[in-house]
Amino acid sequence: MTGELDQRTWDTRRRSFGSVARDYALLRPDYPADVVAFLLGGQPRRVLDLGAGTGKLTEQLLAAGHEVLAVDPSADMLAELTARHPQVTAAVGGAESLPLPDTSVDAVVAGQAAHWFDPAATATELRRVLRPGGVVGFVWNTRDLRVPWLRALEGDIEDEARGHEADQGVVDAFAAALPADVAVHESAVAQQLSPDEVVASFATRSYVAVMADDERHRFLAGLRRTVDTHPGSADRDVLDLPYLTHAYRLTPR
């Protein structure tokens, strides 16, 4: 758990995604294919997508030829995943108590999710379900703040998002708990969204999903004012929304 959120707030946020499952599937960015190749290599593997959500990372795993098992705490999120990928076996569950037998997967990966896991308890479960030679992979997309209008939006959300976004500390905690050696890969991905969609994408963030309706309306209206008035985004029907992608391959010792 990140140190800036109390336990109750952290639990509420990590369980909030079911309420925004459909928009999450539509508006969150995908992952670049080279990330999967970095994490898993070229041979097909049996992979657990942990915190799989609506299947953003699952889609790339399947495209690379891997067999995927999906686990997520939200049945609503998994319903979006299985509607798009009915061949995937999905189960409701958490990282700290995996609904899998011992030594049942070659790899465990998590896209935009590992910051919600308790490192010590999850590491025990990862060691239990991984086969010998297995790996753990974590991936995050983060908005590219070199883009001025995105940097302006970041200023709008800074207070609400504090303690939410992942950082290197998450990877370090897992590397110590497993223990594991870490390799890092950087990539990028971009979306093209309308101004309405850009604002709606922020509504899929946990810190917005848990807001009261009137608070959420005011918050999103403030984001829309920034999009409508910033020189880099004003008067545009379509906006380029670039992300930097950071992938970490943890090889247990």
Report pLDDT for 1: 46
Domain segments of the chain as ranges:
7-144+165-191+243-252
**One-letter amino acid identity for 69?**
L
Helices 195-202 and 213-229, packing angle to 10 deg? 140
First to last CA, the chain: 24
Q: Determine the pLDDT at residue 2.
A: 43
Q: What is the pLDDT of residue 90?
A: 98
Burial class (CB in 10 A: 0-12, 13-18, 19+), 97: exposed
Report pLDDT digits (tens) over 171-189.
Answer: 999 999 999 999 999 999 9
pLDDT of residue 188: 97
- Predicted local confidence at residue 168, as pLDDT: 81
Residue 246 near residue 139, CB atoms below 8 Å: yes
Parts of the chain with a pLDDT under 70: 1-16, 18, 161-167
Contact 209, 24 (CB under 8 A): no
pTM score, whole prediction: 0.91
The CATH superfamily label for domain 7-144+165-191+243-252 reads Vaccinia Virus protein VP39 (3.40.50.150)
